[in-house]
Amino acid sequence: MIGIVMGSLSDYKVMMKAEEVLCEFGVPYEITIVSAHRTPDLLFSYADSARHRGLKGIIAGAGGSAHLPGMLAAKTPLPVYAVPIKATCLDGLDSLLSIVQMPYGVPVATFAIDGAGNAALFAVQQLAVDDDRLFKRLVEFRLAQTQKVLDTKLVAAVGPLQPC
Ligand code: RP5
């Protein structure tokens, strides 16, 4: 249902969070290495066949001169959720700026540097628009994270707070 692609195996340490989120929500996915620069023909065939293979969106992570998400979006109107990856001396800012400034007509939803988890959550949210089961699981996920914050015992971690 969702394709996860990344420019290199070295991106997997970041992109595995997207895999984890899709697993948690029971969303079927495929995961593939596709490089805009090293395997441009594979990028084209991947994007051309994506819809026929049943994909409803593509989460694309890339570092450096990160053309993968934009080129996928150029080749298919499926939603592309981009994850800029911290992979070079420029700490991911290079990837972010490469990805985020898409020209009008070819949008890419760009997430935080190394933000694969939120990219996957957003993909799940879009699938949930037409899926009551997924929507319910998202509501439960939000409630659980709220409860986790409320249950955090700050006193145990830093000692009792002093009145001002
Ligand atoms: C990009 O270049 C990849 O997405 C990766 O983040 C970066 C470095 O790739 P490797 O040299 O580690 O294969 O294309």
Nearest atom, ligand 1, residue 87 CA: 6
Q: Are 159 and 121 in contact (CB under 8 A)?
A: no
Residue 41's identity, in one-letter code, is D
Q: What is the mean pLDDT of residues 45-62?
A: 98
Which H/E stretch holds residue 53? Answer: none
**Residue of 4, 6, 8 with the most ligand 1 atoms within 8 Å of its CB, for mutation:** 8
Pairwise CA distance, residues 36 & 68, whole Å: 5
Q: What is the mean pLDDT of residues 70-82?
A: 98
Residue 50, pLDDT score: 98
Residue nearest to atom 14 of ligand 1 (CA): 7
Percent of the chain with pLDDT over 90: 93
Residue ranges lining ligand 1, Cβ < 6 Å: 7-8, 10-11, 35, 62-64, 85, 87
Residue 26, pLDDT score: 98
User: What percent helix, strand, coil does the chain show, rounded to 5?
Assistant: 50, 15, 35
Residue nearest to atom 3 of ligand 1 (CA): 7
Instruction: Report pTM.
Output: 0.93
Nearest atom, ligand 1, residue 35 CA: 14
pLDDT (tens digit per residue) in 112-162: 999 999 999 999 999 999 999 999 999 999 999 999 999 998 765 666 667
Q: What is the mean pLDDT of residues 73-81?
A: 98
